[in-house]
Amino acid sequence: MRSSQEEFENAVNQVKLLKKDPGNEVKLKLYALYKQATEGPCNIPKPGVFDFINKAKWDAWNALGSLPKETARQSYVDLASSLSSSSTSSSQVKPRADRKQQEYENLVVTSEDGITKIMLNRPTKKNAINPQMYQEIILALKAAGKDDSVLTVLTGNGDYFSSGNDLTNFIETYPSGIEEKVKNNLVTLRNFVNSFIDFPKPLIAVVNGPAKGIGVTILGLFDVVYASDGATFHTPFSQLGLSPEGCSSYTFPKIMGPAKAVEMLIFGKMLTAREACAQGLVTEVFPDSTFQKEVWARLKAYSDLPANSMRISKQVIRNMEKEKLHAVNAEECSVLQERLLSGECINAVVNFLSRKAKL
């Protein structure tokens, strides 16, 4: 019995949805059968002896010899069916997971080419982060840490990466219920920052435009930060009677040195993308006109690297810091709670919102 082209395409999609890694031997067999079914016998030069991955793929494909395309297609369908038969329930869960993504009100979450993209989606509010968005980002990172993607990317929709905290939330907070509201908000902030500290995969920030406040401070917790040359980085904490968060009181001095960190975190100096890159906060800057094209081509190339190897390497690099970062996060949130309840902060935020309303 020969399988149809539709059955073959369904089998290919079935393999993409596998929750459990079938192992390198099976993946090589799937690769070889796919190439044989779509292109016929191996027709490319043998890779060099030190090109281990491509040589293994070539050997698996070449071993099929002159196996007919139809036979290879049927073998692929049979193998895919055997792999998915023990996890049919997981394939049924997938549509529910997709619907779950649609429930995000402030994010757009997509997975493609081994990359999960979490896009802040309040462009008319310059992607200011309100309490609901905080919770949604926590949930999205938790899901991305467990899905089949290799990399996770955080970016913004529209002109801004993020303008930081949505200060209009203060209107709802003050003057009634202030202590309880501030306490709850700080619990959320602490959990939010912890979700970046504990994220198990390579985490990349694609800074598409200006970043302020928490949109800047969390960048020290990313593995790579790519920025458009139109991006700026601003942490106006003192202007608002606040103090640093996102572990920036620890990561920024470590990244750029104490003096430069003080200029940003205490004096509120705004950095251009190239200044942020020179100081180590940004990994690389791209022209705004080609930013999306260049960055996503780079990320797609990275997504082809071995996933487990990257996870383990990140673990080795980051694990020594985790305990320290969690302690810093807890301390920053404790200080922030005091600042948010201070008259100095309340007056500064009210004045800021009053000036903004007059614009």
pLDDT digits (tens, 9 = 90+) for 229-242: 999 999 999 999 99
| Claim to verify: residue 130 and residue 221 sit in the same structural domain | yes
pTM of the entire predicted model: 0.71
Q: How far apart are CA 56 and CA 138, in angstroms?
A: 39
Query: Which comes out higher in pLDDT, residue 181 or 99?
Result: 181
User: Is a pLDDT exceeding 60 seen at residue 175?
Assistant: no
The pLDDT value recorded for residue 233 is 98
Q: Which helix (H) or strand (E) holds 227?
A: strand 224-228
The CATH number given to whatever domain includes residue 326 is: 3.90.226.10
If you average pLDDT over residues 46-62, what whole number do you get? 79
The CATH number given to whatever domain includes residue 18 is: 1.20.80.10
User: Is a pLDDT exceeding 90 seen at residue 58?
Assistant: no
The pLDDT value recorded for residue 183 is 86
The pLDDT value recorded for residue 103 is 77
Q: Is residue 99 part of a domain?
A: no
The pLDDT value recorded for residue 354 is 66
What are the tens digits of pLDDT across the range 122-166? 999 999 999 999 999 999 999 999 999 999 999 999 999 999 998
Query: Which comes out higher in pLDDT, residue 220 or 91?
Result: 220
The pLDDT value recorded for residue 344 is 87
Q: Is residue 310 part of a domain?
A: yes
Whether residue 306 has a cis bond before it, omega within 30° of 0: no
Q: Is residue 97 part of a domain?
A: no
User: Is a pLDDT exceeding 80 seen at residue 172?
Assistant: no
Query: Which comes out higher in pLDDT, residue 85 or 109?
Result: 109
| Claim to verify: residue 260 and residue 332 sit in the same structural domain | yes
Which residue range(s) make up the domain with 55? Answer: 5-90
State the average pLDDT for the chain: 88
Query: Which comes out higher in pLDDT, residue 23 or 298?
Result: 298
**Phi and psi dihedrals of 165, rounded to 5?**
-65, 140
Split at pLDDT 50, 70, 90, the class of 89 is very low
Q: Which of 90, 119, 142 is the last residue of a domain?
A: 90
The pLDDT value recorded for residue 90 is 40
Q: Is residue 110 part of a domain?
A: yes
| Claim to verify: residue 126 and residue 21 sit in the same structural domain | no
The pLDDT value recorded for residue 357 is 54
User: Is a pLDDT exceeding 90 seen at residue 12?
Assistant: no
The pLDDT value recorded for residue 49 is 59
Q: Which of 34, 61, 90 is the last residue of a domain?
A: 90
Q: Is residue 259 part of a domain?
A: yes
Q: Which residues of 186-201 are buried (b: 16+ CB within 10 A; e: fewer)?
A: beebbebbbbbbebeb
Query: Which comes out higher in pLDDT, residue 38 or 100?
Result: 38
What are the tens digits of pLDDT across the range 96-115? 334 344 479 999 999 999 99
Q: Of the ranges 2-11, 63-72, 253-262, which one carries the lowest mean pLDDT score?
A: 2-11
| Claim to verify: residue 119 and residue 254 sit in the same structural domain | yes
| Claim to verify: residue 249 and residue 140 sit in the same structural domain | yes
Q: How far apart are CA 177 and CA 190, in angstroms?
A: 20
**Number of domains forming the structure of the chain:** 2
Q: Which amino acid is at 324?
A: K
Q: Which residues of 150-184 are buried (b: 16+ CB within 10 A; e: fewer)?
A: bbbbbbbbbebbbbbbbbebbeebeeeeeeebbee
If you average pLDDT over residues 313-333, what whole number do you get? 95
If you average pLDDT over residues 86-91, what whole number do you get? 43
DSSP assignment of 149-170? -SEEEEEESSS-SB--B-TTHH
Split at pLDDT 50, 70, 90, the class of 50 is low
| Claim to verify: residue 72 and residue 146 sit in the same structural domain | no
Q: Is residue 98 part of a domain?
A: no
| Claim to verify: residue 235 and residue 179 sit in the same structural domain | yes
Q: Which of 62, 90, 118 is the last residue of a domain?
A: 90
